[in-house]
Structure 1
């Protein structure tokens, strides 16, 4: 549930709005490597620009019209038809990443943003925390524990130092997200 440094930015010449994520200089190439791995997808925000400075890296992504978390909170919950339509877009983004050997790890509604003002189209914002699978892409075994406790799978909370399936953990997080969209609260309380 760590909050990354994210800002709204505007190109002064074109008035185009962007989302700017500020990353530390150290390790930024590894954090952005997933963008090189995946092809363009309508439900994944693509890099618009990367600006490297002395201490930080500024990653520019398309501007957006709010995130799924804020939308669900404002509506209390979504009806099945709307939730199904939006969830299909979330699933499409995650499936595309998985097919290209990218495990997302920290999936939650806040990571999906609306790309249109009518809030009908969603895109995954940021691949910074993802893990790239190497070699046999069928082996998605991970050992790190990363993600928001409300959305991570039980194996991340109870499995000690043993490996878990990264893709399965992402799918669990999607299931919790869908439940939250439909019911308006987490399925499990601390």
Structure 2
């Protein structure tokens, strides 16, 4: 029951979305499996109403397919251990299906929310470090993700998290994106997105807020703000202080980190460099480097990655600063 698409054999369905499906794909050339996202262009246009009517001339309406092609353009630029890798795009103008081959993440999303089995603080710290590295890389390359949440964080074979789904992401120029549109998942949206119409807000701060909600989910198994009514949810996000359950117990340092990420004021909300300092302090100066990455690959990545990974080696070959980055402790899941 396989469908042949160039060198790929499309097998069973492993996921589903609004405009298409994700299929297991076998590449006969490389003899490896991939996740093939298949987007129906007709269904995408129809669900957005574009087959029935065209937008008025001069409007700022973005065609649905343009959003998909924008996502592809962003993904093609990215190469980082904590960001999902787009391998290939197959798009025949005469065919309905737009095919995107991604590295296969067999272990799926890092966590389903809500859950009665949240992570230990050690597990949460390990996965959160991956998110920090991934977001730092995206912001350095002038990309705001806009939809960070556990279901968009996939586990690789090495046990590390990779950021996925760039469907609502934004590129920017300068030091930060100034946004005014609403996008993302309601329970992970920052309070400034719910302010008066037309107000512009920092893109980087939106990602930080969503990271804070995600970290809260990691240790408590649920979102800090939740309501079945969207208006009540918005009200809680804007006005209610974050509360911490009595159990499980978490450290004061982790509480402080979550509080600073969930600061209602984007102007005073903690930023990525400050998060790294706080977490490094929590970990007694343990590194943010990837423990599964060889030294050569790390040195190569240091030329294109931000923050602590932007390390120059002196002519004398001094590696004092690099050695500090390489110190690490990797989290090993217990086998039951």
Is TM > 0.5 for Structure 1 vs Structure 2? yes
Is the deviation greater in 139-148 or in 5-14?
5-14
1:140 aligns with 2:177: yes
Match for residue 165 of structure 2 among 85, 104, 126:
126
TM-aligned CA distance change 1:29 to 1:15, over 3 Å:
same
Match for residue 106 of structure 1 among 129, 147, 154:
147
Cα deviation for residue 151 of structure 1 reads 0.5
CA offsets 1:54-109 (integer angstroms, 9 cap, x no match) = 23321111111110233x65662001001000110011111100000000111111
**Alpha-carbon contact 1:47-1:61 (below 8 Å) kept:** yes
Which structure has the larger Rg? 2
TM-aligned CA distance change 1:146 to 1:29, over 3 Å:
same
Give the Cα–Cα distance (whole angstroms) in 2 for the partners of residues 24 and 170 of structure 1. Answer: 29
Structure 1 residue runs without a partner (length 5+): none
Aligned to 1:169: 206
Give the Cα–Cα distance (whole angstroms) in 2 for the partners of residues 75 and 62 of structure 1. Answer: 30
Aligned to 2:218: 181
1:152 aligns with 2:185: no
Cα deviation for residue 7 of structure 1 reads 1.3
| TM-score, structure 1 as length reference | 0.86
TM-aligned CA distance change 1:123 to 1:142, over 3 Å:
same
Give the Cα–Cα distance (whole angstroms) in 1 for the partners of residues 111 and 194 of structure 2. Answer: 23
Computed over aligned residues only, the root mean square deviation of the Cα atoms, in angstroms, reads: 2.1
1:20 aligns with 2:54: no
**Alpha-carbon contact 2:114-2:223 (below 8 Å) kept:** no
TM-aligned CA distance change 1:143 to 1:131, over 3 Å:
same
CA offsets 1:27-65 (integer angstroms, 9 cap, x no match) = 133221212443x11111111111113233211111111
TM-aligned CA distance change 1:20 to 1:129, over 3 Å:
farther
Structure 2 residue runs without a partner (length 5+): 1-16, 42-64, 228-336
**Alpha-carbon contact 1:6-1:19 (below 8 Å) kept:** no
Cα deviation for residue 175 of structure 1 reads 0.3
Aligned to 2:230: none
1:35 aligns with 2:75: yes
Is the deviation greater in 40-49 or in 21-30?
21-30
TM-aligned CA distance change 1:47 to 1:12, over 3 Å:
closer
Is the deviation greater in 3-12 or in 143-152?
3-12
Give the Cα–Cα distance (whole angstroms) in 2 for the partners of residues 6 and 105 of structure 1. Answer: 22
Q: Which has the higher contact order (CA 8 A, sep 6+)?
A: 1
